[in-house]
Structure 1
Amino acid sequence: MYKNFKSVGKCVFGRGSFNQLDSILAEKRTSNDSYVVFLLDNYFKDKALANKIPLRGKDQLIWVDVDAHEPTTEQIDQLNAHIRELSPSLPIALVGIGGGSVMDIAKATSMMLTNEGLAQQYQGLNLIKNQGVYHIGIPTLAGTGAEVSMTAVLTGPTKKLGIKCDYTVFDQIVLDPDLIANAPKNQWFYTGMDTYIHCIESLTGTMLNEFSKAYGLKSLDLCREVFNQYGQNPEGDEKLMIASYMGGLSLTYSEVGVCHALSYGLSYVFGYRHGIANCIAFDELHDYYGDAVIEFKEMVKKHNVDIPKGLSKNWKEEEVAKMAQTAYALEHMWKHAVGQHWKEVITQDKIMELYYRM
């Protein structure tokens, strides 16, 4: 069956486009009681961006801490409860400003404001019943594709899995390359590599088609320009921001593969952030992605980025088994990477072997 997915409602791209946020929100402000909730990565405390947030009237700015771990279902439940305490009415818009984690938090919180229960109940495909609060995504890092993805990835009590449905897709995104300038080098690289890996996995699996291929190939070209030529500069920032967008579209109509399955295990058991978890895993996947892993290693060397190695020597067998169990459960990723009969090739013991390489 062909995928029938919803795209982002509106998109504005360009340097300084963040300054249009006030006018974008003005269309939603229909009464004096209406208010907007801004979720801002606490990385920007005491930075200029915080002073540019167009707060009006009863608007609320909530600082979001994503330093210690990736988004959790518990974190979404706490935000949901906090926002409901602010007012008897729901906000007319929810704006997520930050990296992929903050944007996923914004998507998930938007859903939980209009759906009963706990976030963990909705980890899966098409479990959300009611459309969420109007939500806007504004990336301050480029690479995750969260700005265009229909998935809000969350770590819950028993699994790492996204809330995924048509409603989760942002109603509006603002892609301003100025916002990703001067990101810490390692973070810039780890997050940017998420796009590179999205494309490699999307383009080398069984679900590949001309739609995903068109976006994936162009995104991959842009990634190579950024990491082999431009680096961190204004032109490179623009290219990486569009690569992230196109890479997200490529995987939406295709799928991710072995690397992402393994990275989910790393994040769930040890709390590794998604970008660096992907890099740790991809570095050891030459058997699956061949020349792309060689190219990845060359880009790591060029930018003098640290990819942790020798981690498994400190892991307990039960921890590796838990990671393997987490990764093995991601059937859609293995089916794309290996084929319909993937269970004849991939076992939990095989996945444990891949983890022990790290």
Structure 2
Amino acid sequence: MTEKGQSRVRVHLIVGARPNFVKIAPLWRVLSNSSWCEPVIVHTGQHYDLNMSDWMFRDLGLPAPHHHLNAQTGSHARVTGSVMVAYEALCLEQDRPDWVVVVGDVDSTIACALTAKKLGLPVAHLEAGLRSFDRSMPEEINRVLTDSIADLLWTPSADADENLAREGIGAERIERVGNIMIDALVNLEAAVDAYDLTPDLGFALPEVYGVVTLHRPSNVDVPKILKEIVDRLCVAARQAFLVFPVHPRTARALEREGLDALLADAGVRMIPPCSYLPFMALIKKAAFLLTDSGGIQEEASYLGIPCLTLRNSTERPITLSLGTNRLIGVDDIEGAVAQALLHHRRPATIPLWDGKTAERVALSLQKAARRAP
């Protein structure tokens, strides 16, 4: 029981893909140690590899999920629809929460937010307000729609607050809490530093190397564009040793087009996807990162690693203004890599990116739960 004899607040923490696990882990740690809250992990099953999902939970210190929705894979509509059906059944028939916390911008985020709101449940969105202003990105649609219906919007930075205000969302729903991704890194930094990568990789890393991650449909689903990227990576591999943890989507595309052999011949070291500890150990010592991911831009900024983002836009513009991240096109790859190799690390200092975001989120949620009728 909490103060005044009230029952503990039952909170569903929704996870569905790798970035969700990283963001939920610090919040789970804080909430599970509180006297007023009963956190429940709901895994939608959206993650492309359930075995990798298990490794992520282990690395991040998360318990086994309390509920697993076993979402269907496939198109955005198939994933979103299957998560909505399964989550509605969970809430109606098995476990109705007091609050639902969704994170990030994956299909599971909008699916569970929409389902919860239609059931009359309050929703909080962690990492709210981020905008790329590119509606061709499925993640941007998920972000905008989730923010429009959530009751409580936890933002990582001032630009996110401004985006929400511009969309007409009242200030009473917005609270800047900082970057939860940095909490995970701070909490596990000692374990990351101590992690021995050599057994996982099967080879020793040179002193200078770059890390490549690619998975966006705009980069990997169009054969012509993917071929151009591969050609540029092969040239860049002459400038620096490249390690490429290959997303399953990208692996299928490379194999289908016969491009994996080109990369191997150029000396690019392709490895399977990594769970959290080995991946962070890999990027922390990298000379640069070449990516089309979102969260990696933030982690790179915190660590001061030059980040080259192979996209036309980013929902994390603060990383551009800090100078730690740069948007590049395919034709820019070789030149951008050459410049990145000349740069020294410059860790960024960003307000509220301090490893204490989960504590601020928990306090905000506790206050909101108290105000609820």
Give the structure-1-normalised TM-score.
Answer: 0.34
Q: Look at both structures and tell me which one has the larger radius of gyration over its CA atoms.
A: 2
Give the structure-2-normalised TM-score.
Answer: 0.33
